[in-house]
Amino acid sequence: MPVNLYNFSSWARSTIVPLLVINNHRPVYKLPNERCYTAMDGLWVSGTDRNVPYVPPLRQVLVKHGSSWKSFVSVMELMLKIYERFKLCSLRRYAIAKCMKFVVEDQEVQGDTAGIFPPMAYGAIAMTLEGYSVDSEEIVKALQAIERFSWETDGQYRVQSCVSPVWDTSLATIALLDCGWSPEDARLEGAVQWMLNRQVLVEHGDWKVYRPRLESGGWAFEYFNSWYPDVDDSATVLISLFKHDRNSIHRSNAQRGIKWVVGMQNRDGGWGAFDVENDKLFLNDIPFSDMDSLCDPSCPDLAGHILEMLGIYLQISEEYNQVEPHRSLRAEAEASLGRGVKYLRDAQEIQGSWFGRRGVNYLYGTSACLCGLAKIGFPESDTMVSRAVEWLKECQNDDGGWGEGVESYKDKSTMGKGIESTASQTAWAVIELLAYLPSSELSIKRGVMWLLQNLRPSEEPVDAYEGGVRVPVNYSRGKTWREEHFTGTGFPNHFYIRYHLYRHYFPMMALGRYAQSQSYATSS
């Protein structure tokens, strides 16, 4: 397959294209005041020496890598720099026009682009450089979208890289249901309806390039992102729908969602987040590769979540296995499961764990995979499961909790360990052990005890959202867990995310499932 724009990941495409336009103009902006210069000093080890090369010198690359793809692309970069001096204006105008067409069409009606800050900011800059007025509809919408990602506190103006309302709502719904919350509670019913209203049903999106006949039906991570629905979010939303109401399997929303997720499976049996067969990792050697994130390959944690979702669906729909549309949908799901299990077997580390792409790290990936395998009835006697369970038990800290640092992305010797116990990671470990072991297991009891002993009064403000705008409400009077470490991952080795709700809903899931397991053991 030739390398083209769609061999790059969705976030790379949306960021690179406006940057090409900006690079053509290479604008220089003066910072507004001296305070900004002082703040910028933090970007350098020494504020007096700001000449930091983006890539190593070409000679150093050639000596280190010899005749390789990396050396080739480094030479090509030098040739392109030479070409810049003698660029063909007519060809450049054609290329810029194509880029601007992409930038404008990629913008949502609400002004967002790809659901993340960089393409929203770069798109607005590119449009102004290409003659768009600051009063134009496109620029105004882009600035409004950026403002929805922003808030002012303690005299500082902050901008988030992204927001995660669909992800958080689905996981919070699962947590409340696991804790015994009534499905008929108006707040839960409202959350479910809110998620249903945000299903992406428009027949466009970059995923359509390689799946043109697949009908839309996924969910995005953010409020507004119709071009890039997310496989992981879609699986989690479907799990929350099935847990809330078993009869939701009959909804056309759910059936379209399942078909879309199954249809996004890669040939290796796994799933990427937004794209299909987006696994040309050699592209990360291109000098402009930012954070080694030009690709969106299959990830074990995504596969685990999808297997869990499909397993729940197959359990509920078993009595309808001879009735359409469930008969054909079940056949698709079962075929997908077979490929998914093979992928997980191939992706398992020799230690018994699985890599976690969206959460830190092997604790997250292993939790997702074991929960998925348990839901499809995969036996504990299988070595793939038993190795994972034993690895997890070995990672438990002396205090009964679990904690894994971001260093494990670079150094596998810290896999599953490295930091003090955290609430979210302890919860992941308890959840995955409960998937296969009885609640009387000592490691589970110690993990639950850690969660109970580290519950603290909450003194944080509780915010509500109206149309994506943050509205302060009051201060929480409940209890929760504190968590200083980052346990969410943007791009491994480069960019990490603090999901502020992880330390709330994952421990709730763990304690709720432990209580359910205790009740089951008592009744038995």
| Torsion over CA: 370, 371, 374, 380 (sign) | positive
Topology match between the domains 5-159 and 377-524:
yes
Closest by alpha carbon to 269, among 205, 335, 328? 335
DSSP letters along 466-484, please?
A: ETTEEEEEEE--SEE----
CA distance 28 to 504: 44
Q: Return the pLDDT at 495.
A: 85
CA distance 313 to 330: 8
Q: Where residue 13 falls among pLDDT bands split at 50, 70, 90?
A: confident
CA distance 367 to 361: 10
Q: Which residue has the tokens 């995504």?
A: 302
336-361 as b/e: b if 16+ CB within 10 A = bbebbbebbeebbbebbbbbbbbbbb
Residue 3 tokens read as 């390398």
Residue 369 tokens read as 């995979």
pLDDT mean over 496-509: 93
Q: Is 232 noted as a catalytic residue in this protein?
A: yes
Q: Return the pLDDT at 281.
A: 78
SS3 293: coil
Cβ 355 vs Cβ 363: under 8 Å: no
Q: Return the pLDDT at 83.
A: 74
Q: Where residue 243 falls among pLDDT bands split at 50, 70, 90?
A: very high
Q: Looking at per-residue confidence, does 51 or 438 come out higher?
A: 438
Residue 496's CB is within 10 A of a number of other CB atoms, namely 17
Beta strand segments in 20-143, E: none
Q: Looking at per-residue confidence, does 11 or 147 come out higher?
A: 147
The per-residue pLDDT for range 201-231, each reduced to its tens digit, is 999 888 998 899 999 999 999 999 999 999 9
SS3 56: coil
Q: Return the pLDDT at 63.
A: 75
Note the CATH architecture for domain 377-524.
Alpha/alpha barrel (1.50)
Domain ranges of the chain: 5-159, 377-524
Residue 331 tokens read as 């056949």
5-159: CATH topology is Glycosyltransferase (1.50.10)
Q: Return the pLDDT at 261.
A: 97
Q: Looking at per-residue confidence, does 41 or 336 come out higher?
A: 336
Q: Looking at per-residue confidence, does 416 or 468 come out higher?
A: 416
SS3 323: coil
Beta bridge partners of 304: none
Closest by alpha carbon to 412, among 350, 345, 495? 350
Residue 47's CB is within 10 A of a number of other CB atoms, namely 12
The per-residue pLDDT for range 186-201, each reduced to its tens digit, is 999 999 999 999 999 9
pLDDT mean over 377-397: 95
Residue 145 tokens read as 């979208």
Helix and strand tally (H, E) in the chain?
18, 8
Long-range contacts of 277-286 (CB under 8 A, 24+ apart): 277/1, 277/210, 278/7, 278/8, 278/9, 280/3, 280/7, 282/69, 283/3, 283/7, 283/8, 285/69, 285/70, 285/73, 286/73
Q: Return the pLDDT at 38.
A: 63
Is the pLDDT reported for residue 513 higher than 90?
A: yes
Q: Return the pLDDT at 523.
A: 57
Is the pLDDT reported for residue 1 higher than 50?
A: no
Taking phi over 0 as left and psi of -120 to 50 as alpha, with beta for the rest, 192 belongs to alpha
pLDDT mean over 53-79: 75
Residue 420 tokens read as 């003090």
Q: Return the pLDDT at 374.
A: 97
Return mean pLDDT, the chain.
Answer: 88
Q: Return the pLDDT at 30.
A: 76
Q: Looking at per-residue confidence, does 67 or 431 come out higher?
A: 431
The per-residue pLDDT for range 128-148, each reduced to its tens digit, is 999 999 999 999 999 999 999
CA distance 444 to 383: 21
Give how far Cα 332 sits from Cα of 216, 241, 271, 336, 337, Å: 16, 20, 15, 6, 9
Q: Residue 418 contacts by C-beta under 8 Å, 6 or more apart in sequence?
A: 403, 404, 405, 407, 408
Q: Looking at per-residue confidence, does 26 or 421 come out higher?
A: 421
The model's pTM is: 0.89
| Torsion over CA: 389, 395, 399, 404 (sign) | negative
Structure-derived torsion over alpha carbons of residues 317, 322, 327, 331, reported in degrees to the nearest 10: 90
Q: Return the pLDDT at 39.
A: 62
Q: Return the pLDDT at 326.
A: 92
Q: Return the pLDDT at 466.
A: 47
Identify the DSSP state of 215: P
Residue 522 tokens read as 């008592």
Q: Which amino acid is at 120?
A: M
Interhelix angle 362-375/383-394, rounded to 10 degrees, is 140
Residue 259 tokens read as 């078909």
Please identify which of the residues 206, 232, 285, 296 carries the catalytic annotation.
232
Closest by alpha carbon to 449, among 469, 429, 470? 429
The per-residue pLDDT for range 286-309, each reduced to its tens digit, is 766 666 778 889 999 999 999 999
SS3 74: helix
Identify the DSSP state of 228: -
Q: Return the pLDDT at 255.
A: 96
CA distance 303 to 233: 12
| Torsion over CA: 110, 113, 116, 118 (sign) | negative
Q: Return the pLDDT at 3.
A: 43
H or E element, residue 37: helix 34-40
Cβ 498 vs Cβ 165: under 8 Å: no
